[in-house]
Amino acid sequence: MSGSDELADETPLRSLPAVLDDAQRWLASPEGEARLSALEREEREAHQRDEVRTRLARLDELAGRLDPDGERAMRDALTRQRPPGRTDAMRAVWRWWRARTDPALLLLGGTGRGKTFAAMHLVCMHGGQYVHGAQLARRWESWRSDRIEDRDPIRASGRLIVVDDLGTEASAARTHAALVELLDQRQTIDRRTVLSLNLSRPELRSYLGDERLLSRLRAISQLHECAGDDLRAKRVDL
């Protein structure tokens, strides 16, 4: 067979527009859409795994500066595979942090709104101290009296303090007194404080009560009531 016959038997080259048309038809087909969805899902999952590894590495850096309660809260926050910025609480926390206009932020809203997750993500990124509301009075009194045997008294001059779940304490009067003194020491923008409460705006004044505390909060705080559904309820139907 001559060379010219061999060339005649070969499949002719297709034009680029024709190849692109075929590719677009395949992508629009059920098979193509399914394959694209699978690739996008794999990419998202790989990105989420990388984020979790990065956050856990950051946790290891900070673990020495956190008490056990703070470490548990941070690990719980950092290992949830919810992308940052997706919740109303997360957006509010980061707006407040970047604006640098108010030393304190009050996060209100029912349980499961992502308040702890948002505040602990901030601690993870910038360092800080976590204090559960039920432990605030004891730990503050330890700092005041300089009782060094306490496992982790509050560091009033720290860059960031998160006081979580206020309203769960046994003695509101002791907690309010500790909050007044704590906020007196944290009225400048280089000492930031996040206060998290499972309350609505109408319930807040009833809980606080103390006019001294209300006065200090009005002077230095931004208030945000977190919107949205209970994120925990989405994970299990009881």
Architecture (CATH level 2) of domain 67-225? 3-Layer(aba) Sandwich (3.40)
Cβ atoms of residues 232 and 110 within 8 Å:
no
Pairwise pLDDT comparison (96 vs 60), residue with the higher score? 96
The mean per-residue pLDDT over the stretch 48-68 comes to 61
Cβ atoms of residues 130 and 164 within 8 Å:
yes
> How many CB atoms within 10 Å of residue 22?
11
In the chain, where are the structural domains located?
16-65, 67-225
What is the pLDDT at residue 25? 80
**pLDDT tens readout for residues 198-222:** 988 888 888 888 788 888 888 899 9
What is the pLDDT at residue 26? 78
The mean per-residue pLDDT over the stretch 13-24 comes to 74
The mean per-residue pLDDT over the stretch 185-202 comes to 91
The mean per-residue pLDDT over the stretch 104-119 comes to 89
